[in-house]
Amino acid sequence: MDTPIIIIGLVLIAIVALPLYLVLRAHKLDKNQIKTLFAQHSQDNQYQFQLIATHSRKALGMDIKKKGLLFIDFNLKEPFVSFQDLKQSESCKVATSSPQGKSNMLKKVELFFTSKNGTAQDNTVLFHDADRDYIVPVYAQEELKLAQQWQEIIQKHL
């Protein structure tokens, strides 16, 4: 009588513990990968990214003192990294585009930076692009909310 109860208990513990272990392990690996990529892109330790946010396998870091922004997207086969020097930027706004005739569907969500010196260069941080082959499904509305939150944070520190 006691043996079947113990076996059932052990099976239930395994059913709960194994997925929990795998999730925690993946989270730890993601954090280590974020730290590694932030260290690689700190441009010889010139930037120290204090404000760090992660959302749906995307990471954002900002160095408030030296005005640098780093965006990493882990949803692609190879992580996409974008660095923006905020010293060169005057303002920031969220830009979206939709397929023709479908205003409720977002194709692209990006932060667009206007430069102080007026030269047009690669002044965007692409949050979402429907044409990209994402590993994990990405929802444009969530990406839009994240971009709007970070646009407010960036505007405060420009």
pLDDT at residue 138, rounded to an integer: 65
pLDDT at residue 136, rounded to an integer: 60
Sign of CA pseudo-dihedral 53, 57, 58, 60:
positive
Question: Under DSSP, is residue 26 helix (H, G, I), strand (E, B) or coil?
Answer: helix
Kindly state the average pLDDT of the residues 41-51.
77
pLDDT at residue 26, rounded to an integer: 83
Beta bridge partners of 111: 94, 125
Average pLDDT, the chain: 80
Kindly state the average pLDDT of the residues 42-56.
76
Where residue 12 falls among pLDDT bands split at 50, 70, 90?
A: very high
Q: Percentage of residues in the chain with pLDDT exceeding 70?
A: 89
- pLDDT > 80? residue 104: no
